[in-house]
Amino acid sequence: MSARSFAGTADCACGPGKVWLVGAGPGDPELLTLKAVRVLGIADVVLVDDLVNRAILVHVREGARVIEVGKRGGCKSTPQAFIERLMIAEAKAGNTVVRLKGGDPFIFGRGGEEAEALHAAGIRCEIVNGITSGLAAASSAAVPLTHRERARGVAFVTAHAAGEDEPDWAALVKTRMTIVIYMGVSRVGALGKALIAAGLAESTPVLVVENASLPRERQLRTRVDRLAEDIAAREIASPAIMVIGEVARENGESTRDASGDLRSGESGTDDGRRSANGVRDGRAQSKNANVLVSMLSRGGASAGVSGSSNAL
Is 35 marked active-site?
A: no
172 within 8 A of 198, measured Cβ to Cβ: yes
d(Cα 1, Cα 21) in Å, to the nearest integer?
A: 18
Decide: 145 and 154 in contact? Cβ < 8 Å.
yes
- Decide if 257 is catalytic: no
In angstroms, rounded to a whole number, what is the distance separating the alpha carbons of residues 231 and 221?
10
Do residues 33 and 130 lie in contact, with contact meaning Cβ atoms separated by under 8 Å?
Answer: yes
Of residues 206, 136, 139, 218, the one with CA closest to residue 178: 206
DSSP readout, 186-206? GGHHHHHHHHHHTT--TT-EE
* 3-state secondary structure at position 252: coil
- List 44, 101, 104, 183, catalytic entry: 183
Q: Spot the catalytic one: 35, 71, 104, 177.
A: 71
Cα angle 51, 146, 107; round to 5: 30
Q: Which residues contact 71 (CB under 8 A, 6 or more apart)?
A: 49, 50, 77, 78, 80, 83, 110
Which distant-in-sequence residues (6+ apart) come within 8 Å of 181 by Cβ? 157, 158, 159, 191, 241, 242, 243, 244
CA distance 112 to 106: 6
Q: Of 18, 49, 101, 104, which one is the catalytic site residue?
A: 49
| Collapsed DSSP state (helix, strand, coil) of residue 84 | helix
Is residue 1 part of the annotated active site? The answer reads no
DSSP letter, residue 302: T
Catalytic residues: 49, 71, 183
